[in-house]
Chain A
């Protein structure tokens, strides 16, 4: 029997408005961004309207600039039969205000566009860039009035769907999700919308004994494009490892594949980026100049799961920048990608854009630049209209040996030469990014970071002729991630991480000739352990997340909100009786035969290739260097044949022409 259509949700804004003066930064809850879209609830000219509530599970100031959400928001709203609105995590002060509510009761999680309750939408799509947003999902579900466990949801609840990089292992949140998608979202959100529309047009049927809700999820699952955790059972071995993950429903595929968008020129989004009134973390127009990376850095999940490389052409980039600036009024343009200087025509792009906007206030930035791809011509073009504030490079490993382990083959000479060029051309500050806790790492590897920083300063003083230069060393803890060659690695325990970082800090401070020129930024190792638990966890970790959330965990990516003790207690509580514990998930090295909790989720990478690459990494005698298959032969990672994709790169040979004066 078709379930009843939920009543049209009313805007909660009139209820919210009297309460807004009592919360911090109320502007983040009122919407009204430039280029936002308001549609009627029944938007479709005929048939059913498909309604998406898109969430980035962090504060508005972090979530609003997120490219993924902005792209999907625009792609979906371009269809007249789809309505997409946005929602973000509310700060704890607002959560308290919403729970206290007013005379009508609590105020539910709402969208910022039309302030409609999230529960009234068909799909609640949540984009996870990081696992530390999981507790914020639970807050949003609970505020929305939707049961946090998928199994308890009914006909009036939205389909809770996860995407983003963390969705490549959604098992820790499997109990809270109805579905997950892997990879690029542009096409799959439309395919999902079609399935929902058809099901709604048929009167929301439940067939073959399935409830209407299960029927919809089943249709999504059999498409092979959407992972629906409830249709898979996980069995465990007596020692706690996963025995197997298998479909429990006929027609549901054994493995779910990631989505790959080919031809980025055909999808030039965002065309009209949202311009908020509130201050956010990125205040610029960002153009993704290519997607994917084939450099082969073994720690890098983003590089592994976004293959192959697909470039946007110089002409599309130029068109997007021009219309993006006009649509937003931003004066900074970010040329985004995982390694922006690797674009086959980056020099032409930078020169062309710098020429076009010469004399205006528009400045360009290249957020990710490799040491070996940096050249001063490029850097000069990028800073022509803007500030020459600082350059950031990421050697990642302190010693040459370690950089070989992670396959980030940057030599010390490369690095010194590059920074010398930068300092001699007027840059005063260089920021170096490293990781601590990489496989096979010793104290000595980490202490070499201090040597490197001192050499950088010494060289900088030599070439610039003065002492007023700085080098900031920024260190993050390494967290092994699924779908990478390091997915089998044991994570370094936080005690050793902290000890190593302390030794490094003491070493940096010891030499007074350099100490004041070297900035040192690091975080303690404990949040990394929790991130590690959530990254490589299986479904049993769901109880840990729930327990931490019940104990008050919110905004775990924010150091002022994160509590290791709360998570440690939650792990003890949530994993009681399973025979496995926090260390088992984090510091334990896995072997070849172990079924990994995400093995049924197909990123296209050949597991044997990943394993061999892992073995090459830890073999001290190995001379194997994985180069970039953009300009060297294929190294058989498996993605292109498995997913029927190919590398798409230039050069196109085209140039950016001057814009005609309006």
Chain B
């Protein structure tokens, strides 16, 4: 018989990482991402701390991953290191090791506590093709006027019915031009193509409070269809712009890493 494996030392440093899923890599599922991230860590030679046991795993905690197909500028995870390392060094090495489209945006030292607890809400922008701004406005008004909008979604446990309204802190129709983010490297919307770009679409921005079950932007669209009878034609494009603590007074979402910086 083999001996029990030795216990691994606990991490000496925890880093919190903000990363983006952009362009075609928005189709990366969370499982796919975690596998790619673990390999990137090896290539980047980040001095990871490992779990104990026969089959040690690098210490990585994921929080609030976005659904497959959604782009995101605000994904978060935490890694435990075996050796203190400059966050800027880790950022550069990880970003280099990950494919373009999975981009590391920020790395800070964790101040402790739970990262997942800081991620109370998300800001989403959703582009709905073949829908005019006027149609969207009417649908949003009807949705917001309701106290409860039941929708269904297929989950691992089967078809579930839940309320899509209560999680919506804010929901507006926005003017695209005013909200374009200038100077971003990779396109985060559908890839530039005259045919696609020329298509009329409505753009919604929403603040969704995290809960159980998680209400996703797709569920809100389903709710809009329920309250106003909109037809689902082409696939919508979802992008998470921010994720973090929710200011319930203003309905805005803060930076979960900014808090760490203050206390670090």
Binding site for B on A (CB under 8 A): 13-15, 17-22, 25-27, 29-34, 103-104, 275, 277-279, 283, 325-331, 361, 387-388, 426, 662
* The residue from B2, B24, B55, B193 contacting A30, defined by CB atoms under 8 A apart: B24
- Report whether A330 and B235 are in contact in the complex, using a CB–CB cutoff of 8 Å: no
Cβ proximity bits B118-133 to A, threshold 8 Å, 1 near / 0 not:
0000000000010000
Q: Report the bound CA distance from A330 to B2 in whole Å.
A: 25
B91 at the interface (CB under 8 A from A): no
* The residue from A17, A22, A26, A361 contacting B68, defined by CB atoms under 8 A apart: A26
B100 proximity list for chain A (CB < 8 A): 32
Question: Number of contacts between A and B (CB, 8 Å)?
Answer: 89
B50 proximity list for chain A (CB < 8 A): 361
- Tell me, rounded to whole Å, the shortest Cβ–Cβ distance linking B196 to chain A: 5
B244 at the interface (CB under 8 A from A): no
- Tell me, rounded to whole Å, the shortest Cβ–Cβ distance linking B192 to chain A: 8
Q: Report the bound CA distance from A330 to B39 in whole Å.
A: 6
- Tell me, rounded to whole Å, the shortest Cβ–Cβ distance linking B216 to chain A: 13
A31 proximity list for chain B (CB < 8 A): 24
Q: Report the bound CA distance from A662 to B54 in whole Å.
A: 27
**How many interface residues does B have (CB within 8 Å)?**
38
Given A20-B69, A361-B56, CB of A32 within 8 Å of CB of B101:
yes
- Report whether A27 and B28 are in contact in the complex, using a CB–CB cutoff of 8 Å: yes
Interface stretch (choices B29-37, B155-163, B203-211): B29-37
Given A13-B191, A15-B193, A328-B39, 4 other A-B residues pairs in contact with their CB atoms under 8 A = A14-B192, A14-B193, A26-B69, A27-B28
B141 at the interface (CB under 8 A from A): no
B234 proximity list for chain A (CB < 8 A): 18
Q: Report the bound CA distance from A15 to B68 in whole Å.
A: 19
Q: Report the bound CA distance from A19 to B234 in whole Å.
A: 8
B29 proximity list for chain A (CB < 8 A): 25, 27
Binding site for A on B (CB under 8 A): 1-2, 24-25, 27-29, 31-33, 35-36, 38-43, 45, 50, 54-56, 68-69, 97, 99-101, 129, 190-193, 195-196, 234-235
- Tell me, rounded to whole Å, the shortest Cβ–Cβ distance linking B29 to chain A: 6
* The residue from B39, B101, B190 contacting A14, defined by CB atoms under 8 A apart: B190
* The residue from A18, A277, A278, A387 contacting B235, defined by CB atoms under 8 A apart: A18
Given A34-B99, A387-B54, CB of A328 within 8 Å of CB of B43:
yes
Q: Which of A278, A329, A387 has the most CB of B within 10 A?
A: A329
A278 proximity list for chain B (CB < 8 A): 32
- Tell me, rounded to whole Å, the shortest Cβ–Cβ distance linking B247 to chain A: 32
Q: Report the bound CA distance from A33 to B192 in whole Å.
A: 21
Given A32-B99, A328-B39, A329-B42, CB of A277 within 8 Å of CB of B196:
no
- In the complex, residue of chain A having the shortest beta-carbon distance to the beta carbon of B37: A329
Q: Report the bound CA distance from A596 to B32 in whole Å.
A: 47
- Report whether B39 and A21 are in contact in the complex, using a CB–CB cutoff of 8 Å: no
* The residue from A103, A279, A328, A329 contacting B32, defined by CB atoms under 8 A apart: A279
* The residue from A14, A20, A279, A387 contacting B195, defined by CB atoms under 8 A apart: A14
* The residue from B27, B31, B43, B55 contacting A26, defined by CB atoms under 8 A apart: B27
A277 proximity list for chain B (CB < 8 A): 25, 28, 32-33, 35-36, 99
